[in-house]
Chains A and B, each alone.
Chain A
Amino acid sequence: MKNKLRLSYLILLSGLGLLSCKKDKVKPAEAKQGSMEVHFDSRRSLTEDFVVNKNYLNANNDSVSFSTFKYFISNVELVRPDGTTFAEPNSYHLIAAANTPASETFTIANIPDGNYSKIRFRVGVDQARNSSTATPVGDLDKDHDMTWDWNTGYTFVFAIGKFKSAPASATFLDFTYQIGKDAQYRTVELAFPSETPTAQIDEMHKPKMHLHANIFDIFGGPNVIDVKANSNSNLPQFSTVAPKIADNYAQMFRIDHIHAH
């Protein structure tokens, strides 16, 4: 009895505490919500996983390895079958290709209950945020190396690695692709795969989307890139190559499958 009394006293107190705060606290909206985890699995190909620092042949038959491959996925939207969308707020995600999935995964929270059939996202950072690095939100607010110190803006795709051109030359050389600027911002839209053409998202259903990012496609989607002739993206002449690489990365993503949890 004594114990109980004390307990209720405390509950009262805590209630008071919370009550007096009520007016400054924004109550979350009552609408029902779910979430979805998105995994940007870095791949060598459909059948082969990507391993950091391992040599692979690219579309130009150069032997290439990546020590770093990072990129911004932004302005993610989920599209309903009727074409209406849910846009994730402050949607800026830094994806770092790695041998572990943690740095390749993010969760979209507070998705309104419903059925969804497409995902739309951007590679890079929209012009509004790209013209000043001083109001960072989401993953833009990190001490990452995704900015230039001499040129305002974010790096959209940052790839560092080594290459050896076919066939003879014996030494590996370095390449650095630090691709940004508004002209290289690309929109990607992917319909859900035929096995799961729509996914229900709500409090009970929190699906996981498993995407493939075939990162070697930067050397050869629609455009085959000769890395030997274009090994440093910070040279001004690279401005003609960068849009071709952007067209390549715009097409390097597939939805492999969706786990409908």
Chain B
Amino acid sequence: MIRFGKYVWVGLVSLAGFAACTNSKMPAPEPEPFTVTAPANLGTSVPAPERNPFTREGVLLGRKLFYDPILSGNNKISCATCHLPEKAFSDGLALSTNGASGQALHRSAPPLQNLAWHKGWFWDGGAKDIESLNFGPIKHADEMAQNLTELVKELQNHSEYPRLFKAAFRTDTISTALLTRALAQFERTLISANSRYDKYVRNEGGKLSSQELEGLSLFRQKCASCHATDFFTDHDYHNNGLDNTYSEAHEALAWGRGRISEKPEDIGKYKTPTLRNIALTAPYMHDGRFKTLEEVLDHYRSGVKVSATLDARLQQNGKTGIEMTEEEKTRIIQFLQTLTDPEFTSNPDFSAPR
């Protein structure tokens, strides 16, 4: 009996020994190094954190995860439920009720484009990196309502994911860290820079009409100090005069950047959104309050509300707001429409894998 005990034990050890060897003798092939580049007017190179470099396998895995409802608690909601490629990865809604609970969210889903260059993520920059951000929608009860431990188990028992994670990260063990790294790699590849405007500024044969050019020059005078550079954002936080009272409801959500920095001088400030693909991403502002670009420009012209943190550029020469004639307004809108990038919204690398 005793001998039999030993026998089995020795047998087990040898098996374990061999199992370990089979693993180490057949290492997964190195994931393909993968350079993601941007067009010249965005500065060519694409920022990515050192600990999460791009690999082809990582980006492909990230795309699959982005479109897979397995990420949600009820297996019905994917990232793409609220971030649709044809709307530059926004959702066309002011405050979505498409999350797990059906409760309206408190903010509008922004487009996902040129995210790699942001300095903070979400409307108020509360997320310090994309990798950390991704856990937000996955766990949030009103978005995907998923338990991370459950999710890792589901992925580990899946018919495809273990192989795909191994290809991307050379490990058999799926973890939340790897999940979010793959998603972030994909999100950083979502680069929009092939609108008609881009092809015009890069001399790639894009043509702007004289009216659009007039709009461009008006835009540069009146808007480009915040919606700056060819990113159309300064990646900074400003109060553009939407409100003059800031409720403390929902843990002072309306404080915007002020809730994150805990500084009174940041109350009511939000990240300057890019204006790329703006014709596709209505409704506008952090709560989707404006349905059209007309309404947005009417706001800047005559709707700006004064409060302590209102940006100085919106109260110059004793006047509140940005002066413009009806015609100038039309020209600016005509220009904004040249920022639509159909190559971005229909890029097969960004759409659901099949």
Which residues of A approach B to under 8 Å, CB–CB? 3, 6-7, 10-11, 13-14, 16-18, 20-21, 24-25, 131-136, 141-143, 147-153, 232, 234-236, 239
Q: In the assembled complex, which residues on chain A have CB atoms less than 8 Å from the CB atom of B258? A: 236
Q: List 23 contacting pairs A-B, 8 Å CB cutoff, sorted by A.
A: A7-B3, A10-B11, A10-B14, A14-B14, A16-B17, A17-B13, A17-B14, A17-B20, A20-B17, A24-B20, A132-B129, A134-B177, A141-B177, A143-B148, A148-B126, A149-B136, A149-B140, A150-B127, A151-B127, A152-B128, A235-B248, A235-B251, A235-B252
The CA-CA distance from A11 to B17 in the complex, in Å, is: 11
Say yes or no: A134-B132 contact (C-beta < 8 A), given A152-B126, A235-B248.
Answer: yes
Interface size class of B (residues with CB under 8 A): 35 or more
Judged by a CB distance under 8 angstroms, whether B135 is at the interface is yes
B161-185 interface bits toward A, Cβ cutoff 8 Å, 1 = contact, 0 = none: 0000000000000011100110010
Structural contact, B24 and A135, CB atoms closer than 8 A = no
> Closest residue of chain B to A147, judged by CB?
B135
Q: Give the residue among B131, B132, B180 with the most A Cβ atoms within 10 A.
A: B132
A232–B127 Cα distance when bound, in Å, is 21
Q: B residues 211-259 with Cβ under 8 Å of A?
A: 248, 251-252, 255, 258-259
Q: B290 at the A/B interface (Cβ < 8 Å)?
A: no
Question: Which residues of chain A come closer than 8 Å to B200, judged between CB atoms?
Answer: none
Closest to B136 in A: A149
Residue of A nearest to B7 (CB): A7
A14, B252: Cβ atoms under 8 Å?
no
A228 to B16, CA, bound (A): 60
Q: Which residue of B lies closest to A130 (CB)?
A: B128
Q: Does B262 contact A (CB under 8 A)?
A: yes
B6 touches A17 (CB 8 A): no
With contacts A134-B180, A151-B260 taken as known, whether A20 is within 8 angstroms of B21 at the C-beta atoms is: yes
Does B147 lie at the interface of the complex (its beta carbon under 8 Å from any beta carbon of A)?
yes
* Chain B contacts with A in 100-151, Cβ cutoff 8 A: 122, 124, 126-129, 131-137, 139-140, 147-149
Min C-beta distance of A1 to chain B, whole Å: 13
Least CB distance, B156 to chain A, in whole angstroms: 14
The reply to whether the CB of B34 lies closer than 8 angstroms to some CB of chain A is no
A132 B128 Cβ-Cβ under 8 A: yes
Alpha-carbon distance A14/B9, docked complex (angstroms): 10
Inter-subunit contact B177/A135 (CB<8 Å): yes
Give the nearest-CB partner of A235 in chain B: B252
Interface centre among A6, A14, A150 (most CB of B within 10 A): A150
In the complex the two chains form, is B135's CB within 8 Å of A21's CB?
no
CA distance A21 to B259 in the complex (A): 54
Question: What residue of chain B has the Cβ atom nearest to residue A153's Cβ?
Answer: B128
Tell me the complex Cα distance, A148–B126, Å. Answer: 10
Q: Chain B residues with Cβ under 8 A from A150's Cβ?
A: 122, 124, 126-127, 136
Min Cβ gap B269→A in Å is 13
> Roughly how many angstroms separate A143 CA and B81 CA in the complex, as a whole number?
24
Contacts of A149 in B (CB 8 A): 135-137, 139-140
With A20-B21, A21-B20, A236-B258 already in contact, the answer to whether A3 and B127 are too (CB < 8 A) is: no
